[in-house]
Amino acid sequence: MKESSATRLPRRLRYFEATARNRVAAVMDAGTFREFLPPEQSQPSPHLAVLDIPGSFDDGVIVGAATLGDRPVLVIAQEGLFMGGAVGEIHGAKIVGLLQRAVREKPAAVIFMADSGGVRLHEANAGLIAISEIMRAVLDARAAGVPVIALVGGSCGAFGGMGIVVRLCSAVVMSEEGRLALSGPEVIETVAGVEEFDSKDRALVWRITGGKHRYLTGDCDELVDDDAAAFRRSAIELLNDWKEPSSSVAGLRAEQERLTSRCQRFDGLRDGLDVWRALGVTDPQQIPLMDRDSLVALKKELPA
Amino acid sequence: MEILEFRFTSQPARQGVDAKLCGVVGSGNLEILIQPGDDARACLVAVKTSARGFGQIWEAVIAEFANRHAVGGTRIAINDMGATPAVVTLRLGQALCEYIGGVP
Amino acid sequence: MNAPCSTGDWDTRRHGRLQRLERAAALGLARRVEPGRVGELLEAVIEPGDRVCLEGNNQKQADFLADTLAECSPERLHDLHMVQSVLALPSHVDLFERGIARTLDFSFSGPQAGRLARLVKDRRIEIGAIHTYLELFGRYFVDLTPKVCLIAAHAADAAGNLYTGPNTEDTPAIVEATAFKGGIVIAQVNALVASLPRVDIPADWVDFLVVAPRPHSIEPLFTRDPAQITDVQVLMAMMAIQGIYAEYGVTRLNHGIGFDTAAIELLLPTYATELGLKGKICTHWALNPHPTLIPAIESGYVESIHCFGSEVGMENYVAARSDIFFTGADGSMRSNRAFSQTAGLYACDMFIGSTLQIDLDGNSSTATLDRITGFGGAPNMGSDPHGRRHASPAWLKAGREAGGPNAVRGRKLVVQMVETFREHMTPVFVEELDAWKLRESMGLELPPIMIYGDDVTHIVTEEGIANLLRCRTPHEREQAIRGIAGFTPAGMARDRHMVEQLRNRGVIRRAEDMGIDPRQATRDLLAARSIKDLVRWSGGLYTPPARFRNW
């Protein structure tokens, strides 16, 4: 009986499909995770009960402490399958509390496994406030010298306010399956029409918001396979020589200038393909088909 | 949302020490929290479910579970977003296995 | 019908055929017809009341010819009797709404099921009968012989030979019946080429051909995205593999399409291999090229697959696996629905598929109110062929379970696999099938039952497996079904004591009885969990259609 070689896929934990709890268990050093406010000490959100929704014990986010490569870290992991990972009051308060704890305890890093569509509309202003508090708390942690490393590779990606939060982090690690953006494709299509953005064209969505595109444009620092072990390795490597830069007005102005000229440089381009071509990629059509290692090698060859 | 509470007599479970959580509250799914309870011969179950009008089926499903497995001395809390009996039964089985650290 | 007369007028069909061809010739229409003149051709060679076969296969559609026929004048063409496998396209239904066609004999109408039901209610159509595919093909050679057939092929050469390639499907059966009973064969092709990869239909069986403005449509009906398979489907697949495939040593089989069977296919390289079953099960298949079977093929489970049709995106993979699939000397696959259905009937030891409703006799139906879907191949694949004579271990074991150690014959395993509740908590197990109400409202002779309870040997649900072969009485059979009907009303009405006894006898087996650990029933057990995984398993040979990709 024939068996073709080199096609057996190893069994591994897919990051994209894993629950938040399984991601934490797989990315952190085995057995080191200790959850704050575990389910048995928590109740679902009363805001959701008012709306006749059962909710969940952890309100869709897990926070706690662990070690990563033997370094002490604090951990946030959003559960994308619960209400689209969206941020409500309790969910947001857990994240903010964890980041404030990081300011006090100064762990080697905060690992932020983001998987969220943004504000939990059910909770309206409470969700908006929560996200703005998260933004402030991320910057406070960084200002205290604690790197906040975002891992984006789940089914929700990081959209809306969470998209902004992720870009405020010290570094972003994404997989090809992950997405990072502001407005969601369906929202854009609803508001501006299908000619502006056909949200059902999944290949287009990933060319514009997906990990490969973000990696090529520099909006994420590392691209990894859809594999919890790969996210783990990447986070450990980032922390090996990490020095959290101190922020300065000059530095912020320089970054704003960089972003402004980037906007101008790619003005009018409507597809990742066009952006990649403008970046110097000779055959942009190949990008979606390439494996991770080939893409990383290709990026190294591109003009700065 | 419906809130249901049940108490079933059952053979005492192999004792678990920690609370265990199984499942995620996604559409068509549920989470189950199982932890030690006070009454060694009974299983106390509290269900919050987004679906209305299936109280009888919930009772039958959990009664069957308590009948087939030794779950006395446990407390079970469930948050449900429209799971079918098939999913509920599977998760209950998975949660119990996690709790006792093996196959019942 | 012509009564025999003294001068022995025995070749009226040949004369009639020549007259039609002369009418076409008089209009200046030669063998190769321009797309713009096909309407004229159809009105010239088809006569009112004719029996016309329009190639509406499961996958392949002669869509240009269908659209053109639907635009013909109802004054010229009316009361046509359509015979076709599948009512797939809107134009297939337009024929009846416009009064061009009056009667229909078919097998399946999935995409047009709602419109068909409305036509019946409005009395705009007479349904002759709903068939299974092989049955319909059989009638093409008895009492439903087409006078004209409109078919689709991939390419033609200058002589008029046709290449139908991987999607050969029903074409040979249709053309043979038509060409050899004085009928007229009209083909639409995607292209005219200097030389064909191979000849699938010889030129002298073909009367007219047109190079259509667009390639004929083919739907990817047999692709299932692994991302949609649920934990419960994994659990049921584990039970099926252990409780049936391993138990009977099923080597030759067909899977009805669905996520339940896709889960089984994706568990072969993992769960089945852990059980030591490689080489012992699932070696020979009558099956379309399911992308979800790629991991099992690559893992060395499969020796042979014969296909009813092809599957969009699988052409390169199939061509690169010519030891497994039926491919021509040219390197491309040839499917053949008639032969695959025959293989599934006689040469397979098991059929397994899903359904929408099951009653307490085990009758299985996909009929729902206000939709006439028909059956496709399931009644054939899911039937126990009394004509079979050759033995196999699985067939003998099943036969002896049912008929005792001196059983006169074996039994084909016919397995229905369902969760007890469908969407919106609709119970699958019911006291009476909707098929009976449909019979009333649509004026059908019989309730449209897809698989008869007599033929069903096992039912798999999330609650376990009921082995109907071992039921000694109708009452036991009913309780065995209630015993795996879960918390549906039918299941809750079970005789608990009797169900326990059936369980003790092994007539009902639960997951725990088979030693299955529920913690293993997760998607992690699937060999592939996304379309992208399938592409990787195939070494990049599988090229999925855009709708299945995010790249």
pLDDT digits (tens, 9 = 90+) for C347-405: 999 999 999 999 999 999 998 888 889 999 999 999 999 999 999 999 999 999 999 99
The whole-number pLDDT of residue A5 equals 38
Residues 6+ apart with CB under 8 A from C523: A17, C229, C230, C231, C234, C529
Task: State the helix-helix crossing angle for A160-168 and A124-143, rounded to 10 degrees.
Answer: 10
DSSP string, C491-538: HHT--HHHHHHHHHTTSEE-TGGGT--GGG-SGGGSS--SHHHHHHHT
Distance CA C3, CA C8 (A): 10
CATH of the domain at B90: 3.30.230
Q: Which two tokens stand for residue A218?
A: 């520099």
Please say if the pLDDT value at position C414 is more than 60.
Answer: yes
Percentage above 70 pLDDT, chain C: 99
Q: Which of C431, C457, C423 is nearest to C358 (CA)?
A: C431
The whole-number pLDDT of residue C7 equals 57
Domain-located, residue A283:
no
Domain-located, residue A55:
yes
User: Residue B63's Cα: distance from chain center in Å?
Assistant: 10
Q: Tokens 């909770």 — which residue?
A: A123
Mind listing the pLDDT tens digit for each residue in C273-331? 999 999 999 999 999 999 999 999 999 999 999 999 999 999 999 999 999 999 999 99
Higher pLDDT, C438 or A155: A155
Higher pLDDT, A28 or A124: A28
Is C462 within 8 Å of C485 (Cβ atoms)?
Answer: no
Would you call C259 an interface residue with chain B, using a CB distance cutoff of 8 Å?
no
The whole-number pLDDT of residue B14 equals 87
Residues from chain A contacting residue C295 (CB–CB below 8 Å): 9
Residues 6+ apart with CB under 8 A from C311: C59, C220, C221, C222, C223, C288, C289, C290, C291
Please say if the pLDDT value at position C3 is more than 80.
Answer: no
Q: Which two tokens stand for residue B74?
A: 């446990």
Q: Tokens 């599948």 — which residue?
A: C86
Total tally of structural domains belonging to chain A: 1
Mind listing the pLDDT tens digit for each residue in C490-517? 999 999 999 999 999 999 999 999 999 9
Domain-located, residue A294:
no
- Strands C413-417 vs C184-192: parallel, antiparallel or unpaired: unpaired
Mind listing the pLDDT tens digit for each residue in A220-245? 999 999 999 999 999 999 999 898 88
Domain-located, residue A139:
yes
Average confidence (pLDDT) over C218-240 = 96
B51: domain range? 2-100
Would you call A297 an interface residue with chain B, using a CB distance cutoff of 8 Å?
no
Distance CA C462, CA C498 (A): 20
Residues from chain C contacting residue A17 (CB–CB below 8 Å): 523, 529
Is C536 within 8 Å of A14 (Cβ atoms)?
Answer: no
Residue A185, sorted as left (phi over 0), alpha (psi -120 to 50) or beta, turns out to be alpha
C82 SS3 class: strand
Give the number of B-C residue pairs with CB atoms closer than 8 Å. 48
Check B35 against A40: CB less than 8 A apart: yes
The whole-number pLDDT of residue A6 equals 35
Q: Which of A1, A12, A14 to mutate to test the interface with C (most CBs of C within 10 A)?
A: A1
Domain-located, residue A25:
yes
Please say if the pLDDT value at position C8 is more than 80.
Answer: no
The whole-number pLDDT of residue A245 equals 85
Question: Which chains touch A (3+ CB pairs under 8 A)?
Answer: B, C
> Chain A, 55-74: which have a CB under 8 Å from a chain B CB?
55-57
Distance CA C102, CA A222 (A): 65
- Strands C464-467 vs C458-461: parallel, antiparallel or unpaired: antiparallel
Please say if the pLDDT value at position C6 is more than 70.
Answer: no
Distance CA C119, CA C106 (A): 15
CATH of the domain at A133: 3.90.226.10
When the pLDDT of each residue in chain A is averaged and rounded to a whole number, the result is 94
Would you call C271 an interface residue with chain A, using a CB distance cutoff of 8 Å?
no
Percentage above 70 pLDDT, chain A: 96
Is C240 within 8 Å of C415 (Cβ atoms)?
Answer: yes
The whole-number pLDDT of residue C1 equals 57
| Burial label, C35 (beta-carbon count in 10 A; 0-12, 13-18, 19+) | middle
Distance CA C107, CA C381 (A): 14
Check C528 against A9: CB less than 8 A apart: yes
Is C280 within 8 Å of C192 (Cβ atoms)?
Answer: no
Distance CA A276, CA A280 (A): 7
Is C507 within 8 Å of C480 (Cβ atoms)?
Answer: yes
Distance CA A6, CA C166 (A): 27
Distance CA A167, CA A288 (A): 23
pTM tops 0.90, yes or no: yes
Shortest CB distance from A202 goes to which of C523, C537, C550?
C550
Low-confidence stretches of chain B (pLDDT < 70) are: none
Enter the DSSP assignment of C286. E
Enter the DSSP assignment of C347. I
Locate the chain C residue with the closest alpha carbon to B95.
Answer: C519
> What are the distances in angstroms from CA C356 to CA C258, C430, C447, C450, C467?
12, 10, 15, 10, 20
Please say if the pLDDT value at position A10 is more than 60.
Answer: no
Residue C488, sorted as left (phi over 0), alpha (psi -120 to 50) or beta, turns out to be beta
Domain-located, residue A197:
no
Total tally of structural domains belonging to chain B: 1
Percentage above 90 pLDDT, chain A: 91
Would you call A50 an interface residue with chain B, using a CB distance cutoff of 8 Å?
no
Is C31 within 8 Å of C207 (Cβ atoms)?
Answer: yes
The whole-number pLDDT of residue A275 equals 97
The whole-number pLDDT of residue C291 equals 98
Residues from chain A contacting residue C272 (CB–CB below 8 Å): none
Average confidence (pLDDT) over C91-95 = 97
> Chain C, 443-472: which have a CB under 8 Å from a chain B CB?
461-463
Give Rg (Cα) of chain B: 12
A130: domain range? 20-180+220-241
Q: Which of B3, B20, B30, B31 to mutate to test the interface with A (most CBs of A within 10 A)?
A: B31
Q: Which two tokens stand for residue A284?
A: 């942009």
Distance CA A201, CA A203 (A): 6
Shortest CB distance from A39 goes to which of B19, B26, B50?
B19
DSSP string, A49-106: HHTT----TTTTEEEEEEEETTEEEEEEEE-TTSGGG-B-HHHHHHHHHHHHHHHHH-
Mind listing the pLDDT tens digit for each residue in A42-62? 999 999 999 989 999 999 999
Average confidence (pLDDT) over A295-301 = 96
User: Residue C505's Cα: distance from chain center in Å?
Assistant: 36
The whole-number pLDDT of residue A1 equals 44
Domain-located, residue A125:
yes
Phi first, then psi: give them for residue C382, nearest 5 degrees. -95, 35
Would you call C551 an interface residue with chain A, using a CB distance cutoff of 8 Å?
yes
Would you call C519 an interface residue with chain B, using a CB distance cutoff of 8 Å?
yes
Check A57 against B31: CB less than 8 A apart: yes
Question: Which chains touch B (3+ CB pairs under 8 A)?
Answer: A, C
